[in-house]
Amino acid sequence: MSTAGKVIKCKAAVLWEPHKPFTIEDIEVAPPKAHEVRIKMVATGVCRSDDHAVSGSLFTPLPAVLGHEGAGIVESIGEGVTCVKPGDKVIPLFSPQCGKCRICKHPESNLCCQTKNLTQPKGALLDGTSRFSCRGKPIHHFISTSTFSQYTVVDDIAVAKIDAAAPLDKVCLIGCGFSTGYGSAVQVAKVTPGSTCAVFGLGGVGLSVIIGCKAAGAARIIAVDINKDRFAKAKTVGATDCVDPRDFEKPIEEVLSDMIDGGVDFCFEVTGNTEAVGAALGSCHKDHGVCVTVGALASFTSTLSIRSHLFFSGRILKGSILGGWKTKEEIPKLVSDYMAKKFNIDPLITHTLTLSEANEAVQLMKSGQCIRCVLLL
Ligand code: COD
Ligand code: ZN
Ligand code: ZN
């Protein structure tokens, strides 16, 4: 029997208060309104930003259904939706693409003017209301996505149709972590063939940067982390050298400068530790080095402290969101590239659990035991 037009009851992980575990609840998910899409979620990765929302360093109104790295199948569509139909495999987009605004029309940018849920979180869909309720109370959405639920509703500018053959328990990572890292290398830094690269931080996102550097033809990729347990996986995905800054008395930027004749061409800070930004920038060649910071976004309130003399030359420091991809257009292409084996994301998934184990997944991530944990919904 069709569920279209009806309220769906399903399970979701709800965060009622900051710093508390999720509770697995029976929630109600209302049908999609005009230009909205209701999705039966199949799989979701658990990302650092979900935990940043739990801790409050990434502000989002609560109670909420978190999760933003998911994949599923369209259950029903609201009036006026033309980009997807029931039965389509999709990835929800925490950074939407309206296709009409100045930013969407700019060839180099991707932070669409409708990315309000990310920059000024209201915890709602674009019409300002929620489709979730639990125990008689409205529950907020999270950055246009809310994937820790068996069903979610998103705006039609925040969903990308993907290859019908794509394995959703793998390509869910293309909704955030993989695309953020891979795009930082190929799209934001524009790593060149034969170049030298260094990647600070070897979590799921940093390893995805390495995959991107390798795909772009980098000759040398130096993986930097204070946790040596991450080195084996870094080598598996393409690192040529692994360095622990704590093994040296001199600063890591001097170590890398000695290793690579004045510093690397491209450096990436993917630690979530703002203090590493200066070291990453200082590890770039002073003449032309490009440094991309991913971790500096980890908190809305943190500030950077960088020695100004690092800019007394041609170094460039760049930021980005979601690897610079124009999401609606380019996320499906990344899924197709994965299907065509242009890169492999499978080594990033070290654990697969169920929705009822969402809190265990967060603990695995916080303890550093997992790279990416996927929840089956
Ligand atoms: N030097 C070297 N390595 C370090 C240092 C340091 N000073 N500090 C920490 N590290 C290492 C840790 O040992 C760890 O291995 C690694 O850095 C970080 O790994 P994870 O598993 O914590 O992180 P990821 O890859 O899942 O996520 C890293 C981000 C920086 C992306 C994350 O913190 C984040 O949320 N950033 C928000 C910005 C963003 O764009 N996120 C993607 C959209 S949600
Ligand atoms: Zn994320
Ligand atoms: Zn736009």
Ligand 1 site, residue 233, Cβ cutoff 6 A: no
From the list 35, 68, 140, 141, the catalytic residue is 68
* Domain count across the chain: 2
Question: For this structure, is 288 an active site residue?
Answer: no
202 CA to centre of ligand 1 in angstroms? 7
Same domain membership, residue 311 and residue 193: yes
Q: Which residue among 321, 341, 359 closes a domain?
A: 321
Instruction: Provide the domain limits for residue 63.
Output: 8-25+53-177+324-376
Asked about 285 being catalytic, the answer comes back as no
Please identify, by atom number, the ligand 1 atom nearest to the C-alpha of residue 269. 30
Ligand 1 atom nearest to 208, measured from its CA: 25
Residues 284 and 186 in one domain: yes
- The answer to whether the CB of 119 falls within 8 A of the CB of 72 is no
Which mutation among 47, 188, 225 tests ligand 1's pocket best, with the greatest number of atoms within 8 A of CB?
A: 225
SS3 334: helix
pLDDT of 117: 67
Q: Round to whole Å and give the CA distance between 84 and 160.
A: 8
> If you search the block for the tokens 């760049």, which residue do you land on?
318
Q: Is 208 in the pocket of ligand 1 (CB under 6 A)?
A: no
C-alpha to C-alpha distance for 317 and 101, rounded to whole angstroms: 26
Q: 175 in ligand 1 pocket by Cβ < 6 Å?
A: no
Burial of 305 (0-12, 13-18, 19+ CB in 10 A): exposed
Question: Quick check: CB of 47 below 6 Å from ligand 1?
Answer: yes
CA distance 307 to 280: 12
- Residue 282: which of 270, 297, 267, 296 has the closest Cα? 267
User: Which tokens in the block code for residue 277?
Assistant: 């930004």
Pocket flag, ligand 1, residue 277 (CB < 6 Å): no
Assess if residue 81 is contained within a domain. Answer: yes
Q: Are residues 293 and 189 in the same domain?
A: yes
User: 133 forms bridges with which residues in the sheet?
Assistant: 28, 138
Positive or negative, the Cα torsion across 126, 127, 133, 139? positive
The reply to whether ligand 1 has any atom less than 6 angstroms from the CB of 27 is: no
Mutational test site, ligand 1, from 172, 270, 293, 362, max ligand atoms within 8 Å of CB: 270
Q: What is the CATH number of the domain that holds 209?
A: 3.40.50.720
Interval between CA 225 and ligand 1 midpoint (Å): 10
Ligand 1, atom nearest to 68 Cα: 44
Residue 1 falls inside a structural domain: no
- CATH no. for residue 365? 3.90.180.10
Whether 287 and 311 have beta carbons less than 8 Å apart is answered as no
Residues 336 and 315 in one domain: no
CA distance linking residue 377 with residue 356, whole number of Å: 9
Same domain assignment for residues 191 and 156:
no
- Pick left, alpha or beta for residue 56 (phi over 0 → left; psi -120 to 50 → alpha; otherwise beta): left
- Sequence-distant (≥ 6) Cβ neighbours of residue 178 within 8 angstroms: 204, 208, 211, 334, 345, 348
Reply yes or no on whether 52 is catalytic.
Answer: yes
Return d(Cα 29, Cα 21) in angstroms, integer. 22
Rounded Cα distance, 120 and 300, in Å: 11
Give yes or no for residue 297 CB within 6 A of ligand 1.
Answer: yes
β-strand partners of 73: 40, 89
Whether the Cβ atoms of residue 298 and residue 48 lie closer than 8 Å to each other? yes
Domain end among 321, 350, 367: 321
Residue 169: inside a domain, yes or no? yes
Which has the closest alpha carbon to 369: 192, 229, 248?
229
| Residue among 249, 165, 242, 150 nearest 200 (CA) | 242
Are 203 and 309 in the same domain? yes
Predicted confidence at residue 1, as pLDDT, reads 74
Last residue of a domain, one of 321, 337, 365: 321
Q: Does residue 31 lie within any of the structural domains?
A: no
pTM over cut 0.95? yes
For residues 316 and 215, state if they share a domain: yes
Site to substitute for ligand 1 among 205, 243, 253, 274, most atoms within 8 A of C-beta: 205
Atom of ligand 1 nearest to the CA of 48: 35
Q: Are residues 166 and 66 in the same domain?
A: yes
Quote the CA–CA distance of 324 and 50 in Å, as a whole number: 20
Q: Distance from the CA of 179 to the center of ligand 2, in angstroms?
A: 10
Are 352 and 251 within one domain?
Answer: no
DSSP letter, residue 175: G
- Residue 252's pLDDT is what? 97
Is residue 124, in this structure, part of any structural domain at all? Answer: yes
Structural domain contains residue 43: no
Residue nearest to atom 16 of ligand 1 (CA): 201
The reported pLDDT for the residue numbered 119 is: 72
C-alpha 46/C-alpha 145 separation (Å) is 13
Does a structural domain hold residue 38? Answer: no
Look at residue 186 in the predicted model and tell me its pLDDT. 98
* Residue in 226, 305, 329, 318 with CA at minimum distance from that of residue 268: 318
**247, containing H or E segment:** none
Considering the domain architecture, whether residues 121 and 239 belong to the same structural domain is answered as no
The owner of tokens 């609606």 is 328
Q: How far is the CA of 94 from the centre of ligand 2 (A)?
A: 9
Model pLDDT, residue 302 = 81
Identify the burial level of 227 via C-beta atoms within 10 angstroms of its C-beta, where 0-12 means exposed, 13-18 middle and 19 or more buried.
Answer: exposed
The 8-class DSSP code of residue 115 comes to T
Q: Are 310 and 281 in contact (CB under 8 A)?
A: yes
Catalytic annotation on 98? no
220 and 99 in a single domain? The answer is no
Low-confidence residues in the chain, pLDDT < 50: none
Same domain? 189 vs 303: yes
Instruction: Pull the structure tokens for residue 234.
Output: 């870094």
pLDDT score of 120 = 75
The verdict on residue 40 lying in a domain is no
